[in-house]
Amino acid sequence: MAVKKRTSVLLDETLLKKARKTLKASSNTEAITKALRQALINKEIEASLKDLIRKGRGHFVDVYR
């Protein structure tokens, strides 16, 4: 089981509401947790794709950069 830490942060209320709706979260804590997990997953995917492009020796092109 993960260790939980209580913290206090200042967040844009509109952004938090949009995140809750988009992520279908029932609480602010759930929305923040889901958003953090998604950010980590996105970074992993980005690193994997960069590695694939590097190892592809020119066979892959990054069309977004």
Q: What is the pLDDT of residues 1-48, one digit of tens each?
A: 789 899 999 999 999 999 999 999 999 999 999 999 999 999 999 998
28-55 vs 13-22: helix axis angle to the nearest 10?
Answer: 70
Asked if residue 1 is part of any domain, the answer here is: no
Asked if residue 63 is part of any domain, the answer here is: no
Q: Give the domain range for residue 47.
A: 19-55
pTM of the model: 0.75
Asked if residue 32 is part of any domain, the answer here is: yes
Asked if residue 43 is part of any domain, the answer here is: yes
Residues 6+ apart with CB under 8 A from 44: none
